[in-house]
Amino acid sequence: MNAEQLCSLTGKVAVVTGAGGALGGAIARGLARAGARVAILDCRAERAAATADSIIADGGVALPIAVDVLDRD
């Protein structure tokens, strides 16, 4: 088993909050490169979409979701 197989997230789903920002976006892209399907959560729809678009352009699977995780409703 090689390192890529040990770190594979193929078949897994990752949920990343704040994924429209620099750090969250980098985490989301890394998870996608490891094979995860990624839910991109951000309070700004356009930022979530931009991160998801970059993942999709690289061959990954991502779903942008505009949500404020601090809002209980």
Q: Where are the domains of the chain?
A: 8-61
Alpha-helical (H) ranges within 1-62 are 3-6, 22-33, 45-57
Q: Does residue 6 carry a pLDDT above 90?
A: no
Q: Does residue 2 carry a pLDDT above 80?
A: no
Superfamily of domain 8-61 in CATH is NAD(P)-binding Rossmann-like Domain (3.40.50.720)
Amino acid at 53: D
Residue range 52-71, pLDDT digits in tens:
999 999 999 999 999 998 88
Confidence of residue 3 (pLDDT cuts 50, 70, 90): low
Q: Whole-angstrom Cα distance, residue 52 to residue 57? A: 9
Residue range 21-51, pLDDT digits in tens:
999 999 999 999 999 999 999 999 999 999 9
